[in-house]
Amino acid sequence: MIFSFYHNQAQLFKEHLIVSLLFVFVYAVAVLFIFETAFAGNGRDKSIVPAVKGHPLSNLWSGYYYSKKDIQALQDNLGENPGLKYVSEGAVLWRQKPNKTSKSCSKCHGNSSISMSEVGVRYPQYYAPLKRLINLEQRINICRKSYQKVQPFEYESKELLSLTSFVRAQAKGRPVRVKVDGFAKPFYEKGKAFYFKRRGQLDMSCAHCHENNYGKQLRSTLLSQGQSNGFPAYRVAWQKVGSLHRRFRSCNKLVRAKTYAFGADAYVNLELYLNWRGNGLEVETPAVRD
């Protein structure tokens, strides 16, 4: 008999109690672990995301991660983030009628936190009426021209930067998710070719710095993966908010290459490819960078 070693009920009860307590303890530990991992998962740096299969990078790291502590603090502090000025100016423009006869953005689009919640994660996007890829800036200008019947904003103007920051900030915290199949495919391919093309007198491609050498010191700068999830972003070196295309121009100049114009097709294609490389990273607009 298996239980023959129990002399009496009392002993059985005692043993049972011990094992039960053990069981309760282990159960408690297990539950604690579950909570802890869940908590650690949330608390861990949200700017790191494992990449999907077939991605050139194994993990995606937001530029936030490579910034100095004081720059990170500036981004996180809602009172001090200088990019938020642009967002609030964008909010004003969103509600404002550009002139007596035309409608405001909010008149047509309603509550921005609902209507624009997904826009920031999926642009650039194929735009059928024009049969081309457009980014957020261009989308906003299309509304200005065709729906508000006023002059489009100039690229990199304070107004366009503000509205773009405002619209993209509605998607803050959501993972970037651009589509690169279907109509977008050829544009994606062009952007990819751009990314890997050596250019300039220094003859480097984006990949030389941001794919092969991220995490390493390039003289005084720590190289990041060159992700786009924080744009439009406030750059200390610019002392203002700038578009992603401005950053492209800076990086082109770094290798002594001819730049393209703001909003050039080549840059919009590159923007799509770059956003795809960051698919999964949270939108940080307005980010703060050195």
Partner 1 sequence: MTNLTTHRLNLNARFLRAWFFVSFRMSAFFWIISLLMVVLIGVSGLRAAEPTPKKQQKQSSKLVEYEVFNLIQSKSIQKSLTGKAGNPKRGEALIIDREKGNCLQCHVIDKFHELAKKNPDTYGDMGEIGPTLDGVATRYKDGQLRLILVNAKLVFPETIMPAYYRIDGFTRVADEYVDQPIMSAQDIEDILSFLKTLK
Residue carrying the six token digits 């019947």 = 149
Nearer Cβ to ligand HEC (54/129): 129
Nearer Cβ to ligand HEC (6/236): 236
* Closest distance to ligand HEC from the beta carbon of 170 (Å): 9
174 binds ligand HEC (CB under 6 A): no
255 binds ligand HEC (CB under 6 A): yes
What Å distances lie between residue 270 and 109, 232, 274, CA to CA? 28, 15, 6
Q: What residues from 131 to 170 belong to the interface with ligand HEC (CB under 6 A)?
A: 139-140, 143-144, 147-148, 163, 167
d(CA 121, CA 170): 10
Residues 14-53 vs partner 1: string with x where CB under 8 A? -xx--xx-xx--xx-xx--xx-xx--x---x---x-----
Nearer Cβ to ligand HEC (34/244): 244
Q: Which of 130, 145, 198, 261 binds partner 1 (CB under 8 A)?
A: 198
Q: In 3-state terms, what secondary structure has residue 256?
A: coil
Active site residue 251: yes
Q: Beta 59-61 vs 125-127: how paired, if at all?
A: unpaired
C-beta separation of 283 from 65 below 8 A: no
Residue carrying the six token digits 């065709």 = 146
Residue carrying the six token digits 């200390």 = 236
Which listed option, partner 1, ligand HEC, none, makes contact with residue 46 (CB within 5 to 8 Å by class)?
A: none
Torsion of CA 251, 118, 44, 34, to 10 degrees: -150
Nearer Cβ to ligand HEC (6/180): 180
Residues with a catalytic annotation lie at 251
